[in-house]
Amino acid sequence: MKSKQRVRDDVLERKCHRCGEWLWIEEFVKSKQCAGGRRPVCKACRCEQKREWRLAKIDLYKATERGRRKRLYWSNPERSRRIGRISRAKYLTKSRARGLPRHNERDEFGRFRKVAA
Ligand SMILES: [Zn+2]
């Protein structure tokens, strides 16, 4: 049976699906869905893969959602800022009413704490 993993010199290794190298298991990102509990490509390859995907999709992003939002903002910056202020204020009132902590309200241990409504 062809295996993706092997033990050599007491070191658990895994074969990278992309560069084909046998690397120490810690060079692979953990993933519960993947065979062996790790991603099939090593960390270095994954970085490269992501960069390639980004470059391939950058024009797509520009033409679609991201571009749309930027165009919307710059078509009327003052209006967009005003809407932002209003929705932030609304969010604050709502979260206050539900007793949720504000992003800047942490206790002495740096944890978020509930504030009295
Ligand atoms: Zn690799």
The full set of domain ranges for the chain reads 5-43, 50-97
Place of tokens 């992309």: 18
State the distance from the centre of ligand 1 to the C-alpha of 23, rounded, in angstroms. Answer: 8
Task: Produce one character per residue of 50-59: b if its CB has 16 or more CB atoms within 10 Å, e if not.
Answer: eeeeeeeeee
Closest CA to 42 of 5, 2, 7, 8: 5
Tell me phi and psi for residue 8, to 5 degrees: -130, 125
Residues 8-17 have pLDDT tens digits of 989 999 999 9
Residues 49-78 have pLDDT tens digits of 998 988 887 777 667 766 677 777 888 889
**Antiparallel, parallel or unpaired: β 5-8 and 11-15:** antiparallel
**Antiparallel, parallel or unpaired: β 22-24 and 28-30:** unpaired
Per the CB < 8 A criterion, the answer to whether 15 and 47 are in contact is no
State the distance from the centre of ligand 1 to the C-alpha of 19, rounded, in angstroms. Answer: 4
State the distance from the centre of ligand 1 to the C-alpha of 54, rounded, in angstroms. Answer: 18
State the distance from the centre of ligand 1 to the C-alpha of 41, rounded, in angstroms. Answer: 5
Q: Say whether pTM exceeds 0.85.
A: no
State the distance from the centre of ligand 1 to the C-alpha of 55, rounded, in angstroms. Answer: 19
State the distance from the centre of ligand 1 to the C-alpha of 57, rounded, in angstroms. Answer: 22
Closest CA to 40 of 23, 18, 21, 13: 18
State the distance from the centre of ligand 1 to the C-alpha of 40, rounded, in angstroms. Answer: 9
